[in-house]
């Protein structure tokens, strides 16, 4: 069995490259189902965020299975010019756990990645596209991330790109309390933006595609507008923040050009981008890669995070070795059981069924207790060799 990971991220791929591999939950479900129909692939999970898209695959130990090629093939993408980061086996384990602990995020220590990893696992589970190895690896990664985020503050800056966006805007103005803004999008990112702007005293207008009284999560203090009315309000706003999962532009060049009064700044927090790139020719428009994240690392606490990572990596390795050893463990149990039964066959004066059941249970419990006390040394090859030696002695 082999674990593979291939992914693109903000470090080596621009937002224009990343948006080509930015998938909705529905598309991820479709890709994973297609991949898992392939021979020798046991499970697949895809993480798709504004900063990265990564595919994790559990498969047979074959050299011709390439995770990046599989992702591109099953997502129907040709001639992708981005750069893939690729990892195998133990390096995959370290990568996903480090990712969950916030060490690979654009803002080090941000906690949103834990939710994103967990959501990716749930999508794969829902579509029956995960196996025990990926399922356990992701659960352990999420646990590691929660442990790190709860107990350690690696960075002394806010933990979301939404905070970075508001910080960026704040640097452009002396104060925000007199400013009018439009927030396009009412998802998790949009709501964080709304909350921060309300705290700053902004006059905030939030777009809703459909409105049902009492059935929306718009932050208190914001005013709601219909999505199709957004240009009317953009026309009279100081700045705009767009953060949706729409596959289409929320602000197009032609309609923006036609506005009589244009906002001074547009912040685009979406991948794929919400704002047509050409708009940058007539307005200061900034995408998520241009916000200038400034993270100051607490190196002492960073060491503590690495200790947490090592602990959870070790936990997965022990689980994996035990899982892969199960067949050989059962082989050892069968051999020990056979030896004991053979010695009892010398004397026929016993209740065969009762003794048989007692021996079977005793062997199971004894072997499990012994191996449970030496988890760090349970390896498939060692257990198999142990069974062979016991079997060899039994034949003497």
240 exposure class (CB count in 10 Å sphere: 0-12, 13-18, 19+): buried
Q: Are 30 and 48 in contact (CB under 8 A)?
A: no
Taking the mean position of all CA atoms in its chain, how far away is CA 377? Answer: 30
Cite the beta strand spans of 219-326 per DSSP E.
223-226, 239-242, 265-268, 284-287
Q: Which residues contact 218 (CB under 8 A, 6 or more apart)?
A: 186, 191, 194, 206, 208, 224
Active site residue 50: yes
- Give the Cα separation of 141 and 133 in Å (integer): 12
Query: Within 10 Å of residue 80's Cβ, how many Cβ atoms?
Result: 16
- Give the Cα separation of 371 and 325 in Å (integer): 11
Count helices and strands (H / E) in the chain. Answer: 13, 10
Cite the beta strand spans of the chain per DSSP E.
2-9, 41-48, 52-59, 85-88, 180-184, 203-208, 223-226, 239-242, 265-268, 284-287
In the numeric block, the tokens 């190895």 are attached to: 133
Q: Beta partners for 251?
A: 275
32, 36, 50, 285: the active-site residue: 50
Q: How far is residue 65 from each of residues 2, 34, 68, measured CA to CA in Å? A: 10, 15, 9
Q: Cα angle at 277 between 273 and 279, to 5 degrees? A: 125
The β-bridge relationship of strands 2-9 and 85-88 is antiparallel
- Give the Cα separation of 190 and 207 in Å (integer): 10
Catalytic residue set: 50
């Amino acid at each position: 069995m082999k674990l593979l990971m291939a992914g693109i991220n903000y470090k080596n791929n621009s937002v224009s490259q990343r948006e080509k591999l930015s998938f909705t939950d529905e598309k991820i479900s479709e890709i994973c189902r297609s991949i898992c129909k392939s021979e020798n692939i046991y499970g697949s999970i895809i993480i798709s965020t504004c900063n990265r898209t990564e595919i994790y695959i559990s498969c047979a130990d074959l050299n011709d299975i390439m995770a990046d090629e599989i992702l591109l093939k099953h997502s129907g993408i040709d001639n992708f010019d981005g750069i893939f980061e690729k990892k195998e086996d133990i390096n995959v384990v370290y990568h996903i756990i480090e990712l969950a602990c916030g060490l690979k995020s654009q803002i080090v220590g941000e906690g949103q990645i834990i939710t994103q990893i967990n959501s990716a696992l749930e999508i794969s589970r829902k579509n029956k596209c995960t196996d025990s190895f990926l399922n356990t690896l992701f659960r352990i990664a999420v646990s590691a991330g929660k442990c790190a985020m709860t107990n350690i503050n690696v960075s002394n800056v806010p933990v979301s790109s939404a905070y970075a966006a508001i910080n960026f805007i704040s640097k452009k103005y002396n104060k925000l309390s007199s400013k009018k803004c439009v927030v396009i999008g009412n998802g998790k990112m949009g709501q964080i933006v709304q909350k921060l702007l309300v705290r700053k005293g902004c006059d905030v207008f939030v777009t809703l595609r459909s409105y049902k009284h009492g059935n929306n999560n718009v932050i208190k203090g914001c005013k709601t507008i219909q999505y199709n009315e957004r240009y009317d309000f953009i026309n009279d706003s100081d700045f705009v923040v767009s953060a949706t999962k729409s596959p289409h532009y929320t602000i197009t060049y032609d309609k923006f050009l036609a506005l009589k009064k244009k906002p001074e700044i547009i912040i685009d927090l979406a991948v794929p981008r919400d704002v047509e790139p050409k708009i940058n020719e007539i307005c200061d428009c900034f995408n998520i890669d241009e916000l200038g994240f400034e993270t100051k690392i607490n190196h002492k606490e960073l060491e503590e995070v690495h200790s947490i990572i090592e602990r959870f990596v070790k936990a997965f390795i022990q689980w994996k070795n035990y899982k892969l050893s199960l067949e050989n463990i059962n082989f050892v149990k069968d051999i020990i059981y056979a030896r004991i039964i053979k010695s009892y066959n010398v004397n026929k004066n016993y209740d065969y069924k009762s003794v048989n059941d007692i021996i079977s249970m005793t062997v199971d419990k004894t072997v499990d207790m012994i191996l449970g006390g030496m988890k760090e040394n349970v390896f498939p090859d060692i257990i198999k060799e142990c069974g062979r030696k016991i079997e060899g002695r039994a034949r003497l």
